[in-house]
Chain A
Amino acid sequence: WRRNHRNTSCVIMSNNMQFMLLFSRQGKLRLQKWYVPLSDKEKKKITRELVQTVLARKPKMCSFLEWRDLKIVYKRYASLYFCCAIEDQDNELITLEIIHRYVELLDKYFGSVCELDIIFNFEKAYFILDEFLLGGEAQETSKKNVLKAIEQADLLQEVRYVIKPPWEQ
């Protein structure tokens, strides 16, 4: 699919996603976005279960698994796992593309992104995600447009956050 997503050039579209989780190899949650209303207790339970399940899989295994009545699509980038839950009729491959697109956006914004970027600027990671997906649907798949929107919104902010923690500079 890597070679194919380039053909899908600009604009929009996709799936109804239930939630997206980012967690580290050690199982630490780095980002969570829920597109379905669930209680905190349930969210915690799902997160715990899923993190365990995904981490238990061997590296060479495919990116899909069936879990409860949902389909889980996950992909590992460096030390971070990106994990989405979609419904039965949804397209796994397009979800994988969405994950990849999000990673590309983070990469562009932070400049070769690493896990620490997301830890220290977690609200930025959220802002980017919110410009990209809305209510579980991809609203904008043009990287350029998403980044432009984020940059302009950032301009409105009065305080510039330090992008890298001091020891990395």
Chain B
Amino acid sequence: MALKIVKGSIDRMFDKNLQDLVRGIRNHKEDEAKYISTCIDEIKQELKQDNIAVKANAVCKLTYLQMLGYDVSWAAFNIVEVMSSSKFTYKRIGYLAASQCFHENTDVIMLTTNQIRKDLSSPNQYDTGVALTGLSCFVTPDLARDLANDIMTLMSHTKPYIRKKAVLIMYKVFLKYPESLRPAFPRLKEKLEDPDPGVQSAAVNVICELARRNPKNYLSLAPLFFKLMTSSTNNWVLIKIIKLFGALTPLEPRLGKKLIEPLTNLIHSTSAMSLLYECVNTVIAGQYSCSVGHIKSHLLCVQKLRILIEDSDQNLKYLGLLAMSKILKTHPKSVQSHKDLILQCLDDKDESIRLRALDLLYGMVSKKNLMEIVKKLMIHVDKAEGTTYRDELLTKIIDICSQSNYQYITNFEWYISILVELTRLEGTRHGHLIASQMLDVAIRVKAIRVFAVAQMATLLDNAHLLTGNMQRNGICEVLYAAAWICGEFSEHLENPVQTLEAMLRPKVATLPGHIQAVYVQNAAKLFATILKNQEGNTDSTAAQETSQMMIDRLPLFVQSANLEVQERASCILQLVKYIQKLQQKDVEVAEEVSALFAGELNPVAPKAQKKVPVPEGLDLDAWINEPPSESESEDEQPKAIFTKEEPKHSRPRHTEVDEKELARRREARKQEQANNPFYIKASPSSQKVYQEAPGVEHIPVVQIDLSVPLKVPGLPMSDQYVKLEEERRQKERAEKKKKEKKKRKEKRSGRGKKHDSGPESEEDITPAHVVDIVTEEMPEVGMHLSDDVAQEDQNHLPVRVKICICMFCLCRPLADSEKLPVRSHRAAGAPKSSAEDGEAENATPQEPKKKSSKEKRDKKKDKERDRKVRLRCWKHFPPSGHKSDSRSTQSEGRTVVTFLVFPLPRKVCDIQGNLQDGSQVVVSVIFENKSDSFLKSMEFNVLDSLNSKLQRPEGSGPHDGLTVPFQLPPGVSNEARFVFTVQSIVMPQKLKGTLTFIVKNEDSSTHEKLDFKLHFTCTSYLITTPCYSDAFAKLLESGDLKSSSVRLEGVNMPFHHLLARICFHHHFSVVERIDSCASMYSRSIQGHHVCLLVKTSGQTVSIDAKCDEPTLLGNVLDEIKQTFSQC
């Protein structure tokens, strides 16, 4: 009975072969899983049979099910059974199943070793064939070890069919069992010259793959492959060989040179795109050598890529762009000339091609073409369908413009208008991106604020235009930026009342909470500004009306469900109510209200905190408050604070307290502040002037007279700025030409012909505004400025060395004025004054000779520590230096380099001496290698004058140069410091110097020289030292200062700018300012006091100065005069 059932089922099952299974699955679409599970049950029954044919059939079906995603690992042993069948039919199915289902962890694999070995040595080549094929899929380290020898034997099989497979599988064996490589390699090498081309290319294939993993070992085969490459006509083999050479050339540069010719020939001759593409890629990858031949082949590549990109085949277009982006990294110029083509690709219907083209554009922009490229992109933004691509375009536009600190933007008005235009995009997700750009630009580019504020005000005014789609997308984030900019820089607003009104509209309440919060806060800022403006007027009702508007509108926000909005609104509402009360009593409040928001916002470098020096003796890991128990001593602290607070208001401006005593206390207090990590250090000088002169000490801002109108009614159109920018550049170019002509007259002999009409080069374009760049690499700014003076060689020759020279003060802990720009906003005033008074109380009497004793103490400080301080100083110091430019001309293959030196304009040169050691100046030099060659053996030498000497190591002669302790690979920059001894500081001086170095190219090395000048101005010996009015008065009264004076005519700038300029360029600090009159103070490194009294009336500025060294004073005044004559 049982037997019958079995037999019956056998018959039935026998019917169900693979086709039946497939058909069955297709017929059971609804309950596929159920059907398959019954099939699997059947298969399990079949596998229990002894009949190998039934088993093979079952295994075949399992292989199919495995592909559908079912687990068949339980049948692994049955697969092995089928593999071991002596019949090829079943063996073939067994091996197929094994190759699809087995992986390294399948344990039955170890049972197969002997079976596979048997099959490998089978007289039937197809048995061997399936075994090899299967093995290529499931070879394990064990199998590789056990069978390596058998496979190696097969490499010399009589049949090419087997040899070919054996060679290929050897690669898998090497990977799993690396020890086999050494014994098998000679035979593998033999196969490179196998009579059968199939075996030969299999061998090339394997060696190529091996070489890609470890090229070093295969260098010796290069000649053999070279022969193969020049003789083979098989494109597939050629591609592999070229790939192999691509891996070898970095190890053997000579190979690269040798390859150029055959590669160029192939590029010229082949019609197979795959081969062409491989050749081009290899040439591009080997760009490091810059021999003449290589430049030619490189040009050829670009040409061919252009053809690929122009092809109608999407695939070729895509690959062409891909390869172009590789060239871009090394030879941006040659890609830039194909800008038209790449812009065309933006129109392609294939999005992946458009995205590739966008990637390329990012790297292609320059100052010259940025506007044009962005204009094109804006057109695409308008017509792009699908938000993903449009968003991609938007982010790319912003990426392109903001890359490397807005390096390529020459006109920020244009950029702001682009950003504003972008806000009109519907449905973009990137509102926050636009917003952060607006904020960034408005904060960092001071000159643009007036314009930005006007634009933002319009945006706020027209917010309703955006509101329609605002809720759905992120574009409303832009209003966050707009509100903030209008509030923060409200002094630039043309019609602040209107803007205030716009910010308090009921519709605002529909915006997201965080934006409303910003609206409310900035409405308060605006309110302060408006009050200030209106109180000056005779009509006091206007001010009261504004207050009333605030009181009317704010309750809407007080009811907000958002806590932040609610909290801010109720605070401000109460404040305004109070103000209104005062207004009704005719009290002037504007001054106090605006004090709420006073202070300048300065950019801070991301790593700024690291540069704040840890004061001596401060252990950051130590407990600040010793945990409990010792609380008695701390009890005194709060008491002290309260008692200190008392005299603050009652203290008269000039007390009877002994001046020396006061000064001493101040000194002690400063010392303590310096050691107190929690004290927010505000710069005393800037604090006094900041309402008018915003934080000028910190940032090298170059005031630029904008030649274009800043106010544009309505929303801006970026196009008009393109035009304006064109005009500006033209004007600039014309001026430059004039200058150049003059210069050429002066030195006619040197270089005969100079291209007047040559194309405008990158360096000719100067930015209309300067960005405050606060990053690790401060010298960037120096670079911007140096572009001003650069005379650019039109030929863009390879060797270009650039040196930025920078000087800064030596051995001095940071003075308050040099501290990092901290946003002193709001908090600034209070802690300062309380500390001031508190100090006076606590200080213990000491003898009056405080200054000299401090000097002595400082002198003792060891040099090592000073060095550290210096480094920190430098990092956030205004960059400065001497600018030099190089020119080179090519003559008959050799590169001749000549260098020209330009002294840097004084306004960016900030040389400082050392307060403690009055005879030392440290010059820090940044060496930047802008050439493509390696620079080494640099020697820095300066021709000493009687007064100033370069400090040389002991034992060296007075004319010896100093070795620069590093070498410079291409594109690298490094800094070296040199100490100078200066005897007298009363006169400015210029030192001539030379830098000699070896330019090492691949094939040659030349010895080059670069001349430069160091300009030690008298200003550079002055150190910004804060001074208080009482001490200042005492100093003037003492009578041992000589006086001198100077008049400046036609100075057309606000008084606070003028003061800021003197502070910044000449290291003075403002002591006191009353209307249009200010007293200023500075001190030389040798302790000379320099006092100025600056008065202005109309365009005339008179400076009365006093100093204990008349020559020094005269020179400083001359320098000041010069500063203002330049502007």
Contact = CB atoms under 8 A, between A and B. Distances in A.
B236 A13 contact: yes
Interface string B842-874: 000000000000000000000000000000000
A11 interface: yes
A165 B27 CA distance: 14
A1 B271 CA distance: 9
Interface in A1-16: 1, 4-5, 7-8, 10-14, 16
A77 interface: no
A135 B274 contact: no
A142 B239 CA distance: 17
B168 A10 contact: no
B89 interface: yes
Given A91-B274, A134-B169, A123 B93 contact: yes
Contacts of A165: 19, 23
A140 B202 CA distance: 9
A69 to B, nearest CB: 15
B136 interface: yes
A162 B20 CA distance: 11
B235 A8 contact: yes
Contacts of B274: 1, 4, 91, 93-94, 96-97
B198 A123 contact: no
B104 interface: yes
B71 interface: yes
A93 B273 contact: yes
Contact of A158 (B19, B87, B315): B87
A13 B274 CA distance: 12
Contact of A13 (B104, B171, B240, B350): B240
A58 B197 CA distance: 41
Given A8-B235, A153-B92, A60 B314 contact: yes
A140 B162 CA distance: 12
Interface string A75-99: 0000000000000010111101100
A144 interface: no
A37 B197 contact: no
A135 B172 contact: yes
A1 B315 contact: yes
Interface stretch (B61-69, B218-226, B711-719): B61-69
Contacts of A5: 272
Contacts of A139: 164-165, 168, 198, 202
A96 B273 CA distance: 11
Contacts of B88: 153, 156-157
B352 A65 contact: yes
A24 interface: no
Interface in A124-167: 126-127, 130-131, 134-135, 137-142, 145, 149, 152-153, 156-159, 161-162, 165
Interface stretch (B204-212, B612-620, B734-742, B905-913): B204-212
A93 B317 CA distance: 12
B201 interface: yes
Contacts of B480: none
B18 A123 contact: yes
A122 B100 CA distance: 12
Interface string B164-190: 110011011000000000000000000
Nearest to A134: B168
B204 A13 contact: yes
Contacts of A156: 88-89, 124, 126
Contact of B319 (A92, A149, A158): A92
B519 interface: no
B1020 to A, nearest CB: 54
A93 B235 contact: no
Given A37-B104, A60-B349, A94 B239 contact: yes
Contacts of B317: 62
Contact of B92 (A91, A93, A127): A127
B262 to A, nearest CB: 18
A123 B202 contact: no
Contacts of B172: 135
B606 to A, nearest CB: 30
A97 B133 CA distance: 22
A13 B243 contact: no
A11 B68 CA distance: 34
A140 B100 CA distance: 21
B482 interface: no
B165 to A, nearest CB: 6
A137 B209 CA distance: 10
B1124 interface: no
A123 B240 contact: no
Contact of B164 (A30, A97, A126, A140): A140
B210 to A, nearest CB: 11
A14 B239 contact: yes
Interface in B72-114: 87-89, 92-93, 96, 99-100, 103-104
A91 B350 contact: no
A158 B86 CA distance: 12
Contacts of B96: 123, 126-127, 130
A89 B282 CA distance: 10
Contacts of B93: 123
B315 A13 contact: no
A61 B235 contact: no
A31 interface: yes
Contact of A137 (B60, B132, B202): B202
Contacts of B130: 153
A151 to B, nearest CB: 11
A119 B22 contact: yes
Residue among A12, A38, A65, A126 facing the most chain B CB atoms (10 A cut-off) = A12
B272 A138 contact: no
B234 interface: yes
A91 B201 contact: no
A169 interface: no
A35 B168 CA distance: 13
A137 B352 contact: no
A102 to B, nearest CB: 15
A152 B202 CA distance: 22
Given A119-B22, A139-B164, A13 B126 contact: no
Given A12-B198, A162-B19, A92 B168 contact: no
Contacts of B1040: none
Nearest to B350: A61
A25 interface: no
A140 B161 CA distance: 9
A4 B87 contact: no
A96 B236 contact: no
Question: Which of the listed residues B63, B313, B315 has the most CB atoms from chain A within 10 Å of its own CB?
Answer: B315
Interface string B3-23: 000000000000000110011
Interface string B44-69: 00000000000000001001100111
Contacts of A135: 136-137, 168-169, 171-172
A44 interface: yes
Contacts of B319: 64, 92-93
A30 B69 CA distance: 11
B1045 to A, nearest CB: 71
Contacts of B136: 35, 134-135
A14 B92 CA distance: 26
Contacts of A12: 197-198, 201-202, 205, 234, 236-237
Contacts of B171: 135, 137
A137 B237 CA distance: 12
Given A89-B212, A93-B319, A120 B19 contact: yes
Nearest to A94: B274
Contact of B168 (A44, A58, A137): A137
20 contacts: A1-B274, A8-B234, A13-B201, A16-B209, A29-B68, A37-B104, A62-B350, A93-B273, A93-B277, A93-B315, A97-B274, A119-B22, A120-B18, A130-B99, A134-B136, A139-B168, A141-B236, A153-B92, A157-B92, A165-B19
Given A8-B272, A153-B130, 5 more contacts: A11-B234, A12-B205, A13-B201, A13-B236, A134-B169
